[in-house]
Structure 1
Amino acid sequence: MTRGLELTGPMALAELRVWRHPRAQGAAGRCIGRTDLPVDRRRARRLAHRIRTAQRREGGERVIVTSTRRRAADVGRWLRRWGWHHHIDPRLDEADFGRWDGLRWREIEPADWAGWTDAFVTHRPGGGESVAMLRARVRSLIDDPVLAGARVWAVGHAGWLNALRTLHLDPLRAVDWPAPIGHGVDLRLRPMAPGGAFR
């Protein structure tokens, strides 16, 4: 089993564990944010089984939260078949790349790329969502008072996970953006100890 990443940071939740969705069909070489691509049924089931196994080992409620996109939500639907509660939360959605969404990366004009790298946090690629807007969505989930004290199991996306991994960086630069974690890999976030630092 692929080992996930662990972070600590300030948040209302008792724990957040987010898996990146299985590899989507037709995504290779394309800018995929809100484009709703399917995943192979067997891959979705395989990840759902891994999440179920983790819950059985570690305890906690049988509740899974996923983004609205099929590549994440299909994992939640498998868990629902096995008796879990499945909630869909658009705050877990991948970044919105506007008119770039669905294009081949090579089809994006160099001038558009330059605008994003020059103002990485505030630029809205393709007229969609800026990194600042994505980070605000991430923060709204981990600070949600309704979820205070809860252990949340979730399935989301690479860009969302990178936004979570870089919340402590201010200013955030393009060179700070990490490589995406692998499909089916998880990131676990726990509250930091008093006096600790997000790491």
Structure 2
Amino acid sequence: MVALLRHPAVRIAPGICYGRTDVPLADGWRQSIPALAASLATIAAQHIWSSPSSRCATLADALGSRLTLPVTCDEHLTELDFGAWEGRAWDALPRHDLDLWAMDPFAFRPPGGERGADLIARVSGFAAQLRIAAQPCIVVSHGGPLRVLPELLCDTPPSLLATPPLVGSLRIVTARRG
């Protein structure tokens, strides 16, 4: 079993694109740790994997301390790189570019950013490692990687158009072995 956890809310204005931008967690995030740790204890995880972004690594470290589990940051779990869109309001981005992205999220690349295909390739390698290890673990990451990771763990085609998990949400997936 793999527990997929999206980082809690961050300290940034609503409606801002912040993929790779390292933004801190919003105040009050620690209040959720006891209940979250209690839920996660039920899967008997052996390890916590985290995006190196502080909004994920901070949470992973707090859970690791609480559950006495090792934490490893892995670049494969970073959020999609939105390039020149980083730090800009979604409403201020060119409508034409957003339409192109919606038509082909696999091939579209924001200016200076990363394609959806790049995200899938990056997360696929990580998912393959988890499937081979076949050990219960916790993964703390972002909406982009967590949008495709459940399908990759189950060996089904991922969709970049799937709804990303909510901020702070937890999902347990039974990974297919191999």
Q: Same fold (TM over 0.5)?
A: yes
TM-score between both structures, scaled by the size of structure 1: 0.76
d(CA) in 2 for partners of 1:140 and 1:187? 20
1:116 corresponds to which of 61, 76, 101: 101
d(CA) in 2 for partners of 1:19 and 1:188? 9
SS in 2 for 1:64: strand
Please say if residues 134 and 175 of structure 2, whose CA atoms lie closer than 8 Å, have aligned partners that are also in contact: no
CA 1:147–1:110 in 2, change beyond 3 Å: closer, same or farther? same
2:42 corresponds to which of 57, 65, 72: 57
TM-score between both structures, scaled by the size of structure 2: 0.83
d(CA) in 2 for partners of 1:125 and 1:46? 36
d(CA) in 2 for partners of 1:147 and 1:74? 27
d(CA) in 2 for partners of 1:178 and 1:27? 24
Please say if residues 131 and 175 of structure 2, whose CA atoms lie closer than 8 Å, have aligned partners that are also in contact: no
SS in 1 for 2:145: helix
* Deviation larger for 105-114 or 21-30: 105-114
Does 1:66 pair with 2:50? Answer: yes
What amino acid is aligned across from residue 63 of structure 2 in structure 1?
L
Please say if residues 20 and 158 of structure 1, whose CA atoms lie closer than 8 Å, have aligned partners that are also in contact: yes
Compare relative contact order (CA 8 Å, sep 6+) and give the higher one, 1 or 2: 1
Percentage of pairs with the same residue: 27
The residue aligned with 1:181 is 165
For structure 1, which runs of at least 5 residues remain unmatched after alignment? 1-14, 194-199
Note the 1:11-50 alignment, pairs <5 A: 15-43=1-29, 45-50=30-35
The residue aligned with 2:149 is 164
What amino acid is aligned across from residue 149 of structure 1 in structure 2?
A
CA RMSD of superposed structures (Å): 2.4
